Every structure is written in structure tokens, then in C-alpha cells.
A and B are shown apart, each in its own frame.
Chain A
Amino acid sequence: MLASPAMSRSSQSGSTTLWSLVLFATLALFAVTLYLIFVVAPVEKQMGIVQKIFYFHVPSAYAMYIGFGASAVGSAVYLIKRDPKWDALGVAGAEVGTLFCVIVLLTGPLWARKAWGVWWTWDPRLTTTLLAGMIFAAYLALRSMGNAGEVEKRFASGLALFGLIDLPLIHYSVQRWRGVHPTVITGKGGGLESEMYWALGLSFVAFTGLAALLIWTRASAERQREETARLRFELMHR
């Protein structure tokens, strides 16, 4: 469905091959993960079948970290080097991170309705996750206002770095502040059964591959879009 990042350049066939390999590996991993989730992993004793949301919810949160982290790295390097390819990484990371953040914020309440009896509560982890989503949504809103100039790019980069501060808060909020969010896979948690552990572990790997593919492809598309804008500008000022 999507063209690989380097499809237009025959000299980069190695990159295309790697992209295709990651794609097929990710698809295969997702197939195995779904089998493990719905066939192998047992139904949880207290919550029942709704606990299986956990196998996609937690890796989605992890993919969100990857996306927002990539955006912050791209933005930081762009502020230092002013190289557009790092800005493209910043945009791609913010977009993919926000996608996974939306997934987390929608699948979480579906689990919470059964487990807590409410769709939403102002728990520290939920609140800090929502805050991160809003920060990077602001980043994307800023970048979507036509062709962003240098000032907008630099301001958005600063916003991404500001959003980076929130990521450790999300992760450690469960441990530092009292909340109701589960802690089964942290140091304080009781852990998982081995089948559950394998399903979750493979899901983490599959979501890592998916996030990498999406960021890679989106960054490539952003670079091409920037190049097109540059050519259009040059043509207009000939």
C-alpha cells in the first residue's frame, strides 16, 4: 500500500530491502502475537477477557514513547545542525507518537470501565499521558499551518523538547505518586504468568517494528515534501 522510503531512488535499493524485511518481520510478529494473546495466554482470574486489552495497550504506550522520543531527538539535533532531515524525524516522531497516544487513551478507558467501573479518572499516569498527547498535538497543529518557516520549525522543536520532560513523569508516576493504575510489570508488581509474559514480550517487539516502520516512512515522506516545497520556491523566484 505504501511506497517504501527509498523507492524513488534505485541507488538505495539496500534501504528498500531493509524496509521490506522489517515490514514482513513485523507482520509475522503481529500474527504470532495475536495467536499468543487469544489462544495461548490464559484469561485473567479477576478481570476476565477484558484484561487482554493489556497486550496491545501497554506496547502502544511503549510505541508512543518511541515516537515522542524520536521527535525530541530529531528536534534537538535540528536546533543544533539546522539539517532538514532531522526536522523530518521530529515531525514523523511527533505524528506517530500522537497516533499511539490516541490508541492508549482510547483503549485504556475500555479496560477501565470493566476494572474500575469508570471510563476515566484523574490518576497521575492517565493525566500525564493526556498532557503529553496535548503537547505533541500542539506541535502537529503548529506544523500543519501551511509550509512551516524556520521560526515555526524552531518553536515546534522547542515544544517537542518540552514534551520530552513529560515522558519520565508518565513512566514513574505510578511508582512515585499514589494512583490506581496497575503496576504488574514494574518492580512493585506481582508479575505475569509465563504465557502472558510471552504474549506481552512479542507484542512489544511487534509494536517496536511497527513504530520504526511508520516513523521511517513518514520521515521520508516529509523529506520529499520539504524538497518539493524548496523546488516550488526556486521555480517561483527564477
Chain B
Amino acid sequence: MRALVSAFVLVATLSLVPRALAEDAPLEAEKSSQADESPAEERAAQFVGVTGPEAESVPGGTLLLAAYAIVWVLLFLYLVRMRRLQSQTAEELERLGAEIRAAEGR
């Protein structure tokens, strides 16, 4: 009986191992095709741990500087715009005044 069970296990092992190896073959093919992918495609498909410094930092100082620069630059540009509007109006008023004086002198 023991010999019969041993023979059954041996036959089953011999018949299943080649099938299992055949099923592993596509995985190896996939691995080789992944090696052909571009770095961007590879990055999209898996996550890889870094080997260098691990800290990710958003530069707070740069963001702060940018925010305050934006405020001052926008205010300055608005003042320049207003100054230009005032100059144009003053020039227009002067021109109209000259035209009125010329019309009254006729």
C-alpha cells in the first residue's frame, strides 16, 4: 500500500511540474518585455524605493518669496497703469482746452 501511494505521488509530481514550468514561461516573457519599456512606462507600472535621501521637500521659502513678490509686482503694475491713465486724461484735457480756446478765438 505504501509503495502504491509513493508511486502515485511520483507520477503526480512528474506530470504537474512540466505544466507549472510552462505556466511560468509567460511571466518570464513579460519580464523581458518590461525591460524593453521606456523609463516613463516603467515608472507608471511600478513603485520603486529610493536608495538616496528619502525626504521630499516643497521649498517653503521659495513659495513665500514668490507670494510676496506677486503682491508687490501686481500693486506696482496697477500704479503704473493708473499713472498712465491720469497722464492720458491730462493730455486730453489740455488738447481739448486748446481746441476750445481756438474755437472761441475765431
Q: Which residues of A contact B (CB under 8 A)?
A: 1-3, 47-50, 52-53, 56-57, 60, 99, 102-103, 106-107, 110-111, 113-114, 117, 210, 214, 217-218, 221, 224-225, 227-228, 231-232, 235, 238
Q: Name the prevailing secondary structure of the A interface residues.
A: helix
In the bound complex, how far is the Cα of B60 from the Cα of A99, in angstroms? 25
Q: Which single member of B61, B74, B89 contacts A228 (CB below 8 Å)?
A: B89
Complex contacts, B79 vs chain A, CB 8 Å: 1-2
| B60, B66, B99, most chain A CB atoms within 10 A | B60
Residue of B nearest to A57 (CB): B67
Complex contacts, A102 vs chain B, CB 8 Å: 74
Tell whether B85 is near chain A: CB-to-CB under 8 Å: yes
B 53-68 contacts with A by CB, 8 A: 58, 60-61, 63-64, 66-68
In the bound complex, how far is the Cα of B82 from the Cα of A107, in angstroms? 23
Complex contacts, A60 vs chain B, CB 8 Å: 71
Across the A-B interface, the 4 shortest Cβ-Cβ residue pairs: A50-B60, A107-B67, A53-B67, A110-B63
Q: Which residues of B contact A (CB under 8 A)?
A: 58, 60-61, 63-64, 66-68, 70-71, 74-75, 78-79, 82-83, 85-86, 89, 92-93, 96, 99-100, 103
Q: Which single member of B60, B78, B85 contacts A214 (CB below 8 Å)?
A: B78
Return A109 CB to nearest CB of chain B, in Å: 9
Return A54 CB to nearest CB of chain B, in Å: 10
Return B105 CB to nearest CB of chain A, in Å: 14
Q: Are A103 and B58 in contact (CB under 8 A)?
A: no
Return B89 CB to nearest CB of chain A, in Å: 5
Q: Are A114 and B58 in contact (CB under 8 A)?
A: yes
Complex contacts, B83 vs chain A, CB 8 Å: 1-2
Complex contacts, B96 vs chain A, CB 8 Å: 228, 231-232, 235
Complex contacts, A1 vs chain B, CB 8 Å: 79, 83
Return A195 CB to nearest CB of chain B, in Å: 17
Complex contacts, A111 vs chain B, CB 8 Å: 63, 67
Apart from the given pairs A2-B83, A49-B64, A99-B75, 4 other A-B contacts in the complex at a CB distance below 8 Å: A2-B86, A110-B63, A110-B67, A221-B86
Would you mind naming 17 contact pairs between A and B with Cβ atoms under 8 Å apart? A53-B67, A53-B68, A56-B71, A57-B67, A103-B70, A107-B67, A107-B70, A110-B64, A114-B63, A117-B58, A210-B75, A221-B85, A221-B89, A228-B89, A228-B93, A228-B96, A231-B93
Return B48 CB to nearest CB of chain A, in Å: 21
Q: Are A228 and B82 in contact (CB under 8 A)?
A: no
Complex contacts, A48 vs chain B, CB 8 Å: 60
Given A2-B83, A56-B71, answer yes or no on A232-B60 (Cβ-Cβ < 8 Å). Answer: no
In the bound complex, how far is the Cα of B66 from the Cα of A53, in angstroms? 10
In the bound complex, how far is the Cα of B86 from the Cα of A222, in angstroms? 9
Complex contacts, A52 vs chain B, CB 8 Å: 64
Complex contacts, A218 vs chain B, CB 8 Å: 82
Return B38 CB to nearest CB of chain A, in Å: 27
In the bound complex, how far is the Cα of B46 from the Cα of A164, in angstroms? 50
In the bound complex, how far is the Cα of B63 from the Cα of A57, in angstroms? 13
In the bound complex, how far is the Cα of B86 from the Cα of A217, in angstroms? 10
Complex contacts, A228 vs chain B, CB 8 Å: 89, 92-93, 96
Complex contacts, B63 vs chain A, CB 8 Å: 50, 53, 110-111, 113-114
